[in-house]
Amino acid sequence: EPEVTQTPSHQVTQMGQEVILRCVPISNHLYFYWYRQILGQKVEFLVSFYNNEISEKSEIFDDQFSVERPDGSNFTLKIRSTKLEDSAMYFCASSDGGARNQPQHFGDGTRLSIL
C-alpha cells in the first residue's frame, strides 16, 4: 500500500538554526499538509498546499515557516531561526482532495528537538 514517507525520523538542531523537514507524499495525491504535535498536546494543523501554493494556514504558521514542493515528489517544511518551543513531532499528510472530501494519510513523523 502506498505511504507517505518522512525524513529524517529525528532531527536535533541548535536554537537559531534553520531546519528543513522532508516528505514524500503518496504519488497520485494532490493535497499536502503539515501538522505538529507538541509532547502531551493535540495534533495541530500548520498548513495545506495545493497546486504549488499554500491554500490554508493556521496562526501557528508564521513568517519563520515556509513550505515548498521543489520537484515532483518532495514536499518540505522549512523553519528559519528555530526556537525551543518548535520542539515537536512534525507530521506530513497527503490526500486526493480536501479534508472534507478525502481522507488524509500521514507519515511516521519527524521528531524535532531544539537545544
Footprint of other proteins (CB under 8 A):
6, 31, 33, 35, 41-45, 48, 55-58, 91, 93, 98-101, 103-109
CA distances in angstroms from 96 to 3, 17, 40, listed in the order given: 13, 34, 30
Measured distance CA(39)–CA(62) in Å, rounded: 20
Q: Which residues, in sequence order, are CB contacts of 72 under 8 Å at separation 6+?
A: none
Minimum distance of other proteins from residue 109's CB (angstroms): 5
Q: For residues 14 and 62, which CB has a smaller minimum distance to other proteins in the complex?
A: 62
Least separation in angstroms between residue 10's CB and other proteins is 10
25 vs 109 by CB, closer to other proteins: 109
In DSSP terms, which residues pair with 67 in a beta bridge? 77
Question: Shortest distance, CB of residue 81 to other proteins, whole angstroms?
Answer: 25
